[in-house]
């Protein structure tokens, strides 16, 4: 194995990795990506919309209620709309703005610490299910580790909310799992 010294940094306080900045105990969106997000224009084609939603999806763990916010935009990806995106409605423009705002100033998530308790808060409504993974620190405060949401398919929307929450706990919506060493 060989290393290129100009690509290496030693004894640094942070590391940029796959679009994230990792600092001692913290995880955040890399600054260069927030700059790219700020420059996004309102999409006019499905390709541009997919590109924007794909970038948002990479950072969905930083956005509470991501599925609910993105729902008006994902509706535009249906085949009935064709390759161009129709003029965005007020709700769709609001969703676009909310996602940009949430990604430009996302919360800083805490990295897991061994020996501390985890808790999961879940919620369900007609169109989405979601959960937040918290870790309770020694100061008694609960810090979020990540947010997970998913839209509910139309055929499942008639399911009572209690069963949706149970389905979320049972692992059918890809909730976070905590490994024995504290990783997610």
> What integer pLDDT is reported at residue 85 of this predicted model?
78
For 121-139, how does the pLDDT look when each residue is reduced to its tens digit (9 = 90+)? 887 777 677 788 888 888 8
Cα dihedral 71→148→31→69 (10° resolution)? 20
Q: Give me 45's structure tokens.
A: 């084609």
Q: Give me 12's structure tokens.
A: 């640094």
Over residues 173-181, the mean pLDDT reads 45
Q: Per DSSP, which regions of the chain are E strands?
A: 15-17, 20-23, 26-29, 109-110, 117-124, 128-136, 142-151
Of all residues in the chain, the percent with pLDDT exceeding 90 is 4
For 63-74, how does the pLDDT look when each residue is reduced to its tens digit (9 = 90+)? 888 888 888 888
Paired with 148 in beta bridges are: 131
């Amino acid at each position: 194995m060989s290393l290129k010294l100009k690509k290496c940094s030693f004894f640094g306080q942070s590391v940029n990795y796959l679009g994230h900045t990792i600092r001692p105990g913290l995880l955040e969106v890399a600054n260069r990506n927030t700059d790219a997000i700020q420059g996004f224009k309102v999409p006019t084609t499905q390709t541009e919309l997919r590109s924007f939603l794909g970038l948002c999806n990479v950072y969905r763990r930083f956005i509470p209620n991501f599925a609910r916010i993105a729902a008006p935009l994902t509706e535009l990806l249906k085949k009935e709309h064709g390759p161009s995106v129709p003029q965005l409605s007020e709700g769709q423009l609001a969703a676009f703005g909310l996602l940009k705002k949430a990604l430009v100033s996302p919360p800083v998530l805490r990295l897991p610490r061994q020996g501390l308790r985890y808790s999961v808060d879940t919620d369900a409504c007609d169109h989405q299910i979601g959960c937040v993974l918290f870790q309770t620190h020694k100061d008694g405060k609960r810090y979020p580790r990540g947010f997970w949401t998913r839209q509910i398919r139309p055929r499942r929307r008639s399911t009572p909310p209690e069963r949706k929450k149970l389905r979320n706990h049972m692992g059918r919506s890809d909730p976070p799992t905590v490994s024995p060493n504290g990783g997610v």
